[in-house]
């Protein structure tokens, strides 16, 4: 199985790489378009700031590469936000794979959200074997709105999208690679999806 983790200036690559290793998979880390396109599964992680990350993706031509992929793609954390239409973080247009807009949590609350939170209203094969209200690990100050692509919901100041799916594109606001057994099962489920 050929798994590629996209390397860019905001990727939390190592933790994802080691999580896959624990599951018995070896991944390639690359920013080469041909390598990314040849993968069976692509993981698009992210920790950082949306505007500078989008600028980097555009400079490297990775924005059009990601949009063109037809195999299963998994965005994680900032990866999810960059797959949405627009982010308030740096007021930047993003990849537009999902129509959701990304907004900042209200200043009245403790921002960013850091820690374990439950996910619910799970409806996608990527959550096979995961119980409603399972706890996963979040670190973020911005969130994606709810919409028709929402496949998991969570609550922090309000309900928002914990995970999104559209065709072959999947994305999670939480970090499955840091979410213990639950996260490992979600990663395994993703890698068992059929092209």
**Catalytic residue numbers, as ranges:** 77, 175, 177
Buried b / exposed e along 169-190 (16+ C-beta atoms within 10 A): bbbbbbbbbbbeebbbbbbbbb
β pairing state of 134-140 and 142-144: unpaired
Q: Which of 122, 127, 134 is nearest to 74 (CA)?
A: 127
- Write out the H or E segment, with its range, that includes residue 160: strand 159-166
Q: Which of 172, 168, 170, 150 is nearest to 159 (CA)?
A: 150
Q: Which of 82, 53, 157, 170 is nearest to 112 (CA)?
A: 157
CA distances from 20 to 1, 3, 85, 106 (A): 12, 9, 29, 35
């Amino acid at each position: 199985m050929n798994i590629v983790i996209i390397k860019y200036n905001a990727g939390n690559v190592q933790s994802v790489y080691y999580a896959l290793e624990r599951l018995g998979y070896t991944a390639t880390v690359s920013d080469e378009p041909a390598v990314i396109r040849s993968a069976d599964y692509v993981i698009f992680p992210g920790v950082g700031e949306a505007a500078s990350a989008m600028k980097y993706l555009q400079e490297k031509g990775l924005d059009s590469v990601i949009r063109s992929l037809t195999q299963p793609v998994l965005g994680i954390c900032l990866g999810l936000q960059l797959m949405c239409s627009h982010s308030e973080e740096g007021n930047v247009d993003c990849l537009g794979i999902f129509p959701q807009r990304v907004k900042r949590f209200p200043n009245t609350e403790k921002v960013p959200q850091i820690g374990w939170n439950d996910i619910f209203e799970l409806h996608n094969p990527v959550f096979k074997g995961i119980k409603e209200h399972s706890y996963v690990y979040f670190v973020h100050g911005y969130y994606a709105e709810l919409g028709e692509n929402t496949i998991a919901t969570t609550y922090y100041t309000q309900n928002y999208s914990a995970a999104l799916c559209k065709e072959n594109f999947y994305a999670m606001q939480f970090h499955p690679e840091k979410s213990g057994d639950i996260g490992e099962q979600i990663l395994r489920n993703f890698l068992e999806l059929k092209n």
